[in-house]
Amino acid sequence: MLKTDEQTYLNFINGKWKASNSAEVKKNTNPANKEDVVGFVQKSTLADLNEAVEAAKGAKDGWHKLSGDARGKYLYKVANVLESRLEDIATTLTREMGKTLPEARGETARGVAILRYYAGEGLREIGNVIPSTDSEGLMFTTRTPLGVVGVITPWNFPVAIPIWKMAPALIYGNTVVIKPASEAAVTCAKVIECFAEAGIPEGVVNMVTGSGSVIGQGIAEHPDINGVTFTGSNAVGKQIGQTALARGAKYQLEMGGKNPVIVAEDADLDLAVKATISGGLSSTGQKCTATSRVLVHKAVYDEFKQKLLSQIEKLTVGDGLGTQNWMGPCSSESQLNTVLSYIEKGKEEGATLLLGGNRLMDSEHESGYFIEPTVFENVTPKMTISQEEIFGPVLALTKVDSFEEAIQLANDVEFGLSASIFTNNIQKMLAFINDIEVGMVRVNAETAGVELQAPFGGMKNSSSHSREQGRAAIEFFTSIKTVFIK
């Protein structure tokens, strides 16, 4: 494997590791300790991207001609390599974006499972026979790949998201050019090393690192990229969707969330507290499905609040590599500053700060971007912290008078990714399932938590209304051909 030195990661184009022709690199450091250099990645140019797209275009017919079984065998090999490197890759993930090592190991293991799930897809049905009105005709559907797929991913799941996009793209016969998030590009480069080590044919998988405004935008605009799959913020996603639409390319966007949990008067409060903490604060709140609004019935509000605060006070914050730490840092200085500015807005607009709210600056924490788990109450629907995605460990509590008010507030945001309710009442469960405007509906379970074999995605401004993962992925990564034979 060609590397200029052990800390410098190259682009992967047409089966070879290649430096960018910019001759510039970006330094990625550890958000738990900014002195720790995780690695350097290429600051690529459009010329690098063009070369990668050319390679993917050149490889697509050969890859599509293989049987699904043969493509699946490559994915099984990638899964085995990733599994053998799990500890190294999980450690890199923790050092590069901060989530704790158990979370990073879980994410990497999920990557292995996703690869195996889609490897099996190579042998499953891809069409239906439909009765024709012509008794001498045979009519059926089959599926064909898009061709070259551009993959643009965020930093918060730098192993799982690239894999849950690339694995279905590949099994259904597409070739791929991926641009990972700059802040977590070393981790993604190590995932791509697993594809290389598994012997994926030249040009089938290509990675080009670089800025969103150059390489990301370049993918959205490239005339030879037939589909673009994106996960990230709403502002960027909308722009990518419009660019892809204007040139007739298929696109898929998974974006932000403002996910509520409803705690009904008959809820199991201990369960609800546990799920609110796990959903809201694990991964330092940096999940698109993170719980951020907590809507609690007035009859149980005080008891719930006391239980919640007493549990959160016990949480330990520190370097995710340390086994004693439950919550790691914010992923970057700019992320930390964004979260702190939302906390200031919450205070200014009249919410009551119950817990946390500060950057941790003692000797154990000063070299990283650590923040206290933070809880507000008296949060009203029009406040900024009720409406905008914070992407940090901040919970906003609101006392509600009724179940109907809780549902109304839960839906009163532009997002619609995930929502949960805690209740043992079947009527409330059914009403919630019916009335809640989200793609991921969770009953007596935290808002975060998805299973790779089930469709994943949002409603409203959280998504382009497509779904990823499970068998649903086939809808984006293929086109249907309706065939009639006489």
Q: Is 108 in the site for ligand NAP (CB under 6 A)?
A: no
Q: Is 158 in the site for ligand NAP (CB under 6 A)?
A: no
For 151-212, give the secondary structure using H, E and C.
Answer: EECCCCCCCHHHHHHHHHHHHCCCEEEEECCHHHHHHHHHHHHHHHHCCCCCCCEEECCCCH
| Pair 375, 395: CB distance under 8 Å | yes
Closer residue to ligand NAP (CB): 155 or 422: 155
* One character per residue 443-472, x = contact with ligand NAP (rule: CB under 6 A): ---------------x---x----------
Dihedral over Cα of 181, 183, 186, 188: its sign: negative
Pairing of the two strands 291-297 and 352-355: unpaired
Closer residue to ligand NAP (CB): 116 or 258: 258
User: In this chain, which stretch among 235-243, 291-299, 317-325, 367-375 interacts with ligand NAP, using CB under 6 A?
Assistant: 235-243
**Cα separations in angstroms, 434 against 271, 407, 463:** 23, 10, 19
- By rule CB under 6 A, what count of residues binds ligand NAP? 32
Q: How far apart are CA 246 and CA 244, in angstroms?
A: 5
User: In this chain, which stretch among 2-10, 76-84, 198-206, 230-238 interacts with ligand NAP, using CB under 6 A?
Assistant: 230-238
| Binders of ligand NAP in range 298-317 (CB under 6 A) | none
Q: Is 324 in the site for ligand NAP (CB under 6 A)?
A: no
Q: Is 154 in the site for ligand NAP (CB under 6 A)?
A: yes
| Binders of ligand NAP in range 410-429 (CB under 6 A) | 417
Closer residue to ligand NAP (CB): 296 or 452: 452
Q: Is 339 in the site for ligand NAP (CB under 6 A)?
A: no
Active-site residue flag, 254: yes
Q: How far apart are CA 16 and CA 51, in angstroms?
A: 12
Out of 160, 163, 236, 261, the residue judged to bind ligand NAP by CB under 6 A: 236
**Which candidate in 183, 188, 221, 288 is catalytic?**
288
| Pair 443, 432: CB distance under 8 Å | yes
**Which candidate in 51, 121, 193, 254 is catalytic?**
254
Closer residue to ligand NAP (CB): 75 or 181: 181
Out of 166, 288, 300, 419, the residue judged to bind ligand NAP by CB under 6 A: 288
Q: How far apart are CA 299 and CA 314, in angstroms?
A: 26
Out of 174, 175, 182, 420, the residue judged to bind ligand NAP by CB under 6 A: 182
| Pair 288, 153: CB distance under 8 Å | no
In total, the chain counts a number of residues equal to: 486
Ramachandran assignment for 5, one of left (phi > 0), alpha (psi -120 to 50 degrees), beta (any other): beta
Q: Is 260 in the site for ligand NAP (CB under 6 A)?
A: no
Closer residue to ligand NAP (CB): 82 or 185: 185
| Pair 265, 299: CB distance under 8 Å | yes
- HSE on the CB side for 229, CA within 13 Å? 29
* Torsion of the alpha carbons at 422, 426, 428 and 433, rounded to the nearest 10: 90
Out of 194, 240, 395, 473, the residue judged to bind ligand NAP by CB under 6 A: 240
Return residues touching ligand NAP (CB under 6 A): 152-157, 179, 181-183, 211-213, 216-217, 220, 231-233, 236, 239-240, 254-257, 288, 389, 391, 417, 458, 462
